[in-house]
Structure 1
Amino acid sequence: MEDYRETTIGLGVDYSLFLIRQPQALTEQIIQSLHQEILKEGLILSWERLFKGSKSALVVFGPVNLLQPFSTRLGLLELEDYSQKLTPQHLTGVTCWEVGTKHSPSAPLSLNNLFKEFPQLQVEEEFWWQVVVQPKLSHFQSVIRAVVVAANQKKAQELQESLSKIGGEAGLALLPQPYAVSQLVKFYQDRALPHNLTVIAGKGIFPLLTASEILDLVGAR
Structure 2
Amino acid sequence: MSTLWADLGPSLLPAFWVTIKLTFYSAIGAVILGTILTAMRVSPVKILRTLSTAYINTVRNTPLTLVILFCSFGLYQNLGMSLASRDSSTFLTDNNFRLAVLGFILYTSSFVAESLRSGINTVHFGQAEAARSLGLGFTDIFRQIIFPQAVRAAIVPLGNTLIALTKNTTIASVIGVGEASLLMKSTIENHANMLFLVFAIFA
- Higher Cα Rg: structure 1 or 2? 2
More strand by share: 1
User: Under TM normalisation by the shorter chain, which class is it?
Assistant: under 0.3
TM-score w.r.t. length of structure 1: 0.22
More helix by share: 2
TM-score w.r.t. length of structure 2: 0.23
